[in-house]
């Protein structure tokens, strides 16, 4: 069993990770305190590594970090690694989701996908990456009470219909981009001797 700290101050992520992980393989606890890490990498991989390195350097214990975001084909430069900053500072999750719906007005291509890249940083020589992806499309309205971020406007391709991720909490727990990345990590570490 590998004990890790989570390189994030996001309480939603910490809760989601604890629900996804098999404690016989990997356990995650919150870092003693949040670090301000400048995420100026040009990819999800680079930003996950920046966070993992910073937390490892500060706390000297193995770290799991992730970088994730929503990629929208009709506006490829606007979200992605900038998803959490879309629309500028001071916006709530719901404000960002409503802004996305506004930007998508009149756009016929609504294809989108969520990406999650995990970086498991055991030490300076053992760094592992795992990527999960959830395909879908941007809906036409804001629906659902579950999830967070862009979940109320994202309709997953494998969700079985027109429901948003925010309306599919049980489904999301097994099929989200983060759940997939975590399952790849757990499989890898369960087979590693």
Alpha-carbon distances, residue 110 vs 8, 22, 83 (angstroms): 30, 35, 16
- Tokens 């979200």 -> residue: 79
Does 151 qualify as catalytic in the annotation? no
**Angle subtended by helix axes 177-191 and 11-20, to nearest 10:** 50
Supply 34's token pair.
């949040």
Residue among 22, 40, 66, 67 flagged as catalytic = 67
Q: How far apart are CA 105 and CA 115, in angstroms?
A: 23
* Sheet of 2-6, strands arranged across: 26-30, 2-6, 63-72, 111-123, 126-138, 154-156
Catalytic residues: 67
């Amino acid at each position: 069993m590998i004990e890790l700290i989570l390189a994030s101050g996001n309480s939603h992520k910490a809760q989601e990770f604890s629900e996804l992980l098999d404690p016989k393989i990997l356990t995650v606890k919150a870092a003693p305190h949040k670090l301000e890490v400048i995420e100026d990498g040009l990819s999800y991989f680079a930003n996950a590594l920046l966070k993992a390195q910073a937390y490892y350097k500060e706390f000297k214990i193995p770290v799991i970090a992730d970088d994730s975001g929503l990629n929208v084909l009709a506006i490829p430069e606007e979200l992605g690694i900038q998803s959490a900053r879309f629309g500028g500072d001071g916006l709530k999750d719901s404000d960002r989701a409503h802004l996305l719906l506004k930007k998508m007005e009149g756009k016929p291509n609504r294809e989108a996908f969520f990406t999650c890249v995990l970086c498991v940083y055991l030490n300076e020589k053992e760094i592992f990456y795992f990527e999960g992806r959830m395909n879908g499309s941007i809906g036409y309205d804001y629906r659902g009470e579950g999830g967070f971020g862009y979940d109320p406007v994202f309709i997953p391709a494998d969700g079985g219909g027109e429901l948003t991720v925010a309306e599919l909490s049980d489904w999301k727990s097994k099929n989200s981009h983060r759940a997939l990345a975590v399952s790849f990590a757990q499989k890898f570490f369960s087979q590693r001797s």
